[in-house]
Chain A
Amino acid sequence: MGDLPPYPERPAQQPPGRRTSQASQRRHSRDQAQALGADPEERQQIPPDAQRNAPGWSQRGSLSQQENLLMPQVFQAEEARLGGMEYPSVNTGFPSEFQPQPYSDESRMQVAELTTSLMLQRLQQGQSSLFQQLDPTFQEPPVNPLGQFNLYQTDQFSEGAQHGPYLRDDPALQFLPSELGFPHYSAQVPEPEPLELAVQNAKAYLLHTSINCDLSLYEHLVNLLTKILNQRPEDPLSVLESLNRTTQWEWFHPKLDTLRDDPEMQPTYKMAEKQKALFIRSGGGTEGEQEMEEEVGETPVPNIMETAFYFEQAGVGLSSDESFRIFLAMKQLVEQQPIHTCRFWGKILGIKRSYLVAEVEFREGEEEAEEEEVEEMTEGGEVMEAHGEEEGEEDEEKAVDIVPKPVWKPPPVIPKEESRSGANKYLYFVCNEPGLPWTRLPHVTPAQIVNARKIKKFFTGYLDTPVVSYPPFPGNEANYLRAQIARISAATQVSPLGFYQFNEEEGDEEEEGGAGRDSYEENPDFEGIPVLELVDSMANWVHHTQHILPQGRCTWVNPLQKTEEEEDLGEEEEKADEGPEEVEQEVGPPLLTPLSEDAEIMHLAPWTTRLSCSLCPQYSVAVVRSNLWPGAYAYASGKKFENIYIGWGHKYSPESFNPALPAPIQQEYPSGPEIVEMSDPTVEEEQALKAAQEQALGATEEEEEGEEEEEGEETDD
């Protein structure tokens, strides 16, 4: 208490005349606070004062002065609570100066809190007259620290730290009598600060969630600013839009925890897994070395990368990593199947998926087992049909009422070619993407080829899709695919002249039915044709696949030659029909025919040749492109050549596709007088007849009267 005396001195220094008005007291306190603030000495004494105040306060005896001292504190406390905006106005002079002071002491704060609450209670109990007793000579210093305390207090008040109602720093608004008598946390909230109200409204607006989602603009801005502050990008203003978009996207697509899989990427990962399997070498680790030696030797897998390189020179083909994957997939195929030779035939595009086609040749004897299964399926169907017809006819014969037998007989089925010959010389495997399993395509039948020539359909990518067309295609997409592959192979597989030659054994052409030789072998003495010559003349290229006859086969077969089955079943009918049908032998161009002999397509050359690079002809490659089958390419360079097809699998025709017309309606039965309905005689005819009969009657009237009646009956019929 020894320090007290100096304090009253200072107030005494204040100019008098500020007693009465509360506003003046207010200013007074401010001035004193400022004066105090100016006084550095006092600062150090404030904390001890605060402490002293507490004990001083508890001694309620001689409190009048202290009460007076603390009244302004009350005001300040109230004001602090009431008007947060006043903080700057109250503490304009000294906040910076007072900050270094150790106000963070909790005990002091709590003590101050206690004091203020007690003060307020006192206020409630007391009368307003207290204020009149206010002595300008009150203690300033405690006010200031307490004011500071109040600053912190209001921030830390649990319930009471509401933002508002805030009072503006207008003396006229202050110290309304009604305010003074209110309880601790006033129930009667005065008019909120308009500025603060505006802030509240703005914040409430920002907190509105968007219509589409749960995110509010406030939250989004918080996220965005946090992100920017965390990342500190170089020029944030320029990347603001993209940051905005990214933040929004991230909100709705939170990074899933590592345990759960991203559902969208599942198919991609699965595919990658499958393709990864391609890259793993088969066999265990210990066998690795042995296998290495074996693999270096001959392998039926062709050098796809080399082929791809050459075709790339021509501007054709798939990308290099795709080619490599195909190479690995073919390697896998070779390991799975007993393959003697194999070649990448090409790619056929489909609507939903595409097909990668590999042309293979099995080792001798290997394919028989699998073949039988397939053959049984198809042949079983045919036999069933034949049986069905026969049974139907027998039933009809037994029936009493003889229904006229159908004269139409299905055209004889042309037997399909044996494996390893003609159109079925090679086996074809397809897969949709490298890594997926290879599927074997069935052999092609002549009927399928004949029908494939009449229709034009896109491939969907699924082998078991039915082919809906007219004329109805005998088979599903697998068969149609195989038929198109056969047609394309027959038309566009070419090689430089001299690469292949006929076998040494020369059979008589007539014996073979004029079909020509169907086998060839590589010419070991092939020297290679200069690229320029290959480009100049089409005679330097030859077909090395057999042409498919209109019948649908490469070697002609007389359909009327009865097989054993047909003889058993329907002898009589066939003999009757054999007469009118005369089948001519179909002849096609022989094997190894040069391309110059190919028919033109409406004045359009069937083939186009190109040098791969006109700027460096010495290193370029001769490329031949088919105009009849768009997508078929062949290259030759030195002793190497290769064919490939990448396309939709359709022939080019300058005219539009005309689907076959439906067959004419069949005659059901021959017309004859016994079936045809007679027309009734007209009235004139009847009368004429009657007149004629009467004349005749008149002549023979005497003879018999009964005859007239009979005639009358007859005419009535």
Chain B
Amino acid sequence: MEEVDVEPTTTPIPGFDSNQKHLGFVWGPGDILVYETIYKASGGSAGGCPFVHEVRKDEDIYSPILRKLFNESHHIFVGLQRIREDLPSKNKKPQFVSISKNYRSVIRACMEELQQVAVYHNDSLGNTLLSLELIWNLCEVLFIDAAPAGSLVLHLLDWVRLHKADVDEKAREVLASESPAEHQAYWDVVISYVLQGRMDEARQVLVKQAALQPAARVMFKLLDNLLMKMPIFNPGETQTLTEFDVKWRHWREEVDHCLQDQSFASNRHLEDICKILVGDEDVLLEYKELLSTWYHFLVTRLLFSHPTVKPTELHYYAQSSMHMFLDTRSVPEPLDSILLAAFEFDIHQVIKDCSIALNNWWFVGHLTDLLDHCKLLQSHNLHFGSNLREFLLLEYASGLFTHHSLWQLAVDYFDHCPEFGRVYLELQIERVPLDTERKALKVIRICEQRQMTEQVRSICKIMAKKALRNNRLGSALSWSIRAKDAAFATLISERFLQDYCAKGTFSDLDLIDNLGPAMLLSDRLTFLGKYREFHRLYGEKRFSDAAKLLLSLMTAKIAPHSFWMTLLTDALPLLEQKEVIFSADQTHELMFCLEELTSGKSVPTPDKPMQDEDIETTKIELLRLALARNLAMAIVKEGTVEI
């Protein structure tokens, strides 16, 4: 047994009140059942609890807000799978980045919708989504976009800015006020901008203060100048990283000079800004509240002390930043561990931690799939390699299958799991409740598209049985034909015939008339079809064709013996026509049939009521008479020579 890194979560079930009882457990097709019971070696017990609880593993599936997330990400997922394998990787990177951004925008759209709905106890969901987007964004920057030194800090800055939107709100508030420079939050805004590397905005706000203090104009101009001149790496330019580094160091020295010169000594705020610009960590930490997170602190640190940081160097800074920022007593949150793992480029750890921390597999499934497409999983030499992707996707899709409409999305996910996707689909799709014909047809179509013939047959049989239970014979028949279920078709044909005998008419004529080759599925069905044809011919007054058919039904043994009496009775009107329809030979055959039938009936059955006997005998007498008369007429007709 493997050692697990974390203790498995224990879920208490409410209501069980005694320590003497055991927990019964049963898998449902979707949910789980638990109930109280006692297991004992021998039978008998006293007293029990009548409750059975239905327990569900994944509540998120049923959240209407997340429905959009599942639907849209499904769309993106399918598009991603279709990207051609043969294109070289470097051409695909922009595509992957774009797909990553699509996923993130779907998360953001959900968050916005949540805010609009503003149901307060969905806050935890909102926070979760926020964290998800944060993590995904970082993964995109570090793994998918894989920014090199120089661009790396810029991307990380963007990342931080995106997730610290309150700065702009505060700034708007300050600038909209009567006297911005005297606003309580004024310096917070300025410093926040500087911490985020947004020098232009910082300068714009600083100008307000400068206007208020004409005496210190020189000082403000100096700072403004420094802020303006701060070198920012531009990956598009021809400037190399080294050149940038030199330029940056120059500038830093200049700022340092100003500090040494005590140029800003008279204004504590300006001096702090200067100290931040040279990357003074102590000062940075004084502004913990404005930074609010250790990773903001990290990025700011990098911006002002090592903007040319290489990806491989990140983890030193990440770890130290976290330690410096967080209270040594506090335990790191799951989010912190995940981000740290990302900074350490330990993709495996990121996925593992996310799997444990999150309630459903959506996030890790889609992210891992994307990373796998970027060929990032293999290069990290995972235990599972690409199996991890499939493992997670199977989990996610299986979870979707319990939902009454989302299960259709799951089908595509299974399609793209080459090893077990198909068999998982086969096992799960049989469990989709076939409430309506339409739903059944939908499920069948999905199965047919994937050549899952066993499942199609099984579903058709189930629908046929259901239709029969509800006395919808026509529907039952068409389902059993589709299922190629000869036995059931026979059963239903019998019912049709019984109904005919009882009522004298057929139901579902359309169906029977248009059976076509399906008629051959079962003998009884063939008979049903042909018998109906006989009636049609009779109706169209094509008497000789009808007669021929009727006879062949008996002689070719298509008709069951039990039905022969009815057939012969049907022959009566044909025999009593003025015109001779049955030829002499045919009449002979009919007589043979009658004899065959009556010889079996020579033994009187004691339990048959007298009336039935009488009716039977009368019928037979009538038939014999009609046949004899017809024979006579036929012989005469055939013997007559037309002159």
A and B co-occur in one complex: no
Which residues of chain B have a CB within 8 Å of any CB of chain A? none
Which residues of chain A have a CB within 8 Å of any CB of chain B? none
